[in-house]
Amino acid sequence: MTSQATRVLVLNSGSSSVKYQLLDMRDGTRLAVGLVERIGESASRLVHTPSGDGAGRRERTGRIADHERALEAVAEELALDGMGIDSPELAAIGHRVVHGGLEFSAPTVIDDAVLAEIERLVPVAPLHNPANITGIRTARALRPDLPQVAVFDTAFHTTMPEHAARYAIDVATADAHRIRRYGFHGTSHAYVSRRAAELLGRAPEELNLIVLHLGNGASASAVAGGRCVDTSMGLTPLEGLVMGTRSGDIDPAVVFHLERVAGMDTDEIDELLNKKSGLTGLCGDNDMREIRRRVDAGDAAATLAFDIYIHRLKKYIGAYYAVLGRVDAVVFTAGVGENAAPVREAAIAGLGELGLVVDAELNAVRSGEPRLVSPENARVAVAVVPTDEEMEIARQTFALVDA
Ligand code: ADP
User: From the CB of 340, is ligand 1 less than 6 Å away?
Assistant: yes
117 lines ligand 1 (CB under 6 A): no
C-alpha span between 345 and 247 (Å, rounded): 22
pTM metric for this prediction = 0.95
pLDDT score of 187: 96
Nearest atom within ligand 1 for CA of residue 287? 16
pLDDT of 14: 87
In angstroms, what is the span from residue 311 Cα to ligand 1's centroid? 19
The verdict on whether residue 215 carries a ligand-binding annotation is: yes
pLDDT at 20: 96
Pocket test for ligand 1, best of 216, 285, 393 (most atoms within 8 A of CB): 216
356 lines ligand 1 (CB under 6 A): no
Q: Which of 339, 343, 385 to mutate to test the pocket of ligand 1 (most atoms within 8 A of CB)?
A: 339
Check the annotation: does 25 bind a ligand. no
Residue 261 DSSP symbol = T
Contact 215 CB / ligand 1 (< 6 Å): yes
Q: Is 129 annotated as a binding residue?
A: no
Is the C-beta atom of 245 inside 6 A of ligand 1? no
pLDDT at position 3 is 67
The closest residue, in CA terms, to atom 4 on ligand 1 is: 216
Domains in the chain (CATH in brackets) are 7-152 (3.30.420.40), 202-389 (3.30.420.40)
> What sign does the CA torsion over 110, 112, 113, 119 have?
positive
| 36 CB-near residues (< 8 Å, 6+ apart) | 17, 18, 44, 45, 46, 64, 70, 73, 74
Q: Is any ligand 1 atom within 6 A of the Cβ of residue 335?
A: yes
Q: How far is the CA of 367 from the centre of ligand 1 (A)?
A: 15
pLDDT in tens, the chain (403 residues): 556 899 999 999 988 899 999 999 999 999 999 999 999 999 999 999 988 677 789 999 999 999 999 999 999 999 998 898 999 999 999 999 999 999 999 999 999 999 999 999 998 888 888 999 999 999 999 999 999 999 999 999 999 999 999 999 999 999 999 999 999 999 999 999 999 999 999 999 999 999 999 999 999 999 999 999 999 999 999 999 999 999 999 999 999 999 999 999 999 999 999 999 999 999 999 999 999 999 999 999 999 999 999 999 999 999 999 999 999 999 999 999 999 999 999 999 999 999 999 999 999 999 999 999 999 999 999 999 999 999 999 999 999 998 7
Q: How far is the CA of 119 from the centre of ligand 1 (A)?
A: 31
153 is catalytic: yes
1 alpha carbon to ligand 1 midpoint, in Å?
39
Ligand 1 in reach of 386 Cβ (< 6 A): no
Q: Is the CB of 278 under 6 A from ligand 1?
A: no
CA of 210 relative to ligand 1 center, distance in Å: 20
Cα(311)–Cα(333) distance, integer angstroms = 18
Distance 340 CA to ligand 1 centre (A): 8
Specify whether the CB–CB gap between 148 and 108 falls below 8 A: no
Ligand 1 binding pocket mutation candidate from 189, 295, 336 (most atoms within 8 A of CB): 336
Asked whether 374 and 362 are in contact (CB, 8 A), the reply is: yes
Is 103 marked as binding a ligand? no
The reply to whether ligand 1 has any atom less than 6 angstroms from the CB of 33 is no
Ligand 1: which residue has its CA nearest to atom 19? 335
Q: Is 132 annotated as a binding residue?
A: no
DSSP 67-120: HHHHHHHHHHHHHHTT--TTSTTEEEEEEEES--TTT-SS-EE--HHHHHHHHH
Q: Ligand 1 in contact with 339 (CB < 6 A)?
A: yes
Identify the active-site residue in 145, 153, 307, 359: 153
Q: In this structure, how many other beta carbons lie within 10 angstroms of the beta carbon of residue 242?
A: 23
Sheet with 45-49, strands from edge to edge, namely: 58-61, 45-49, 29-37, 18-24, 7-13, 90-97, 148-152, 108-109
- Report the amino acid identity of residue 383: A
* Residue 52, pLDDT score: 65
Q: 157 C-alpha vs ligand 1 centroid, how far in Å?
A: 23
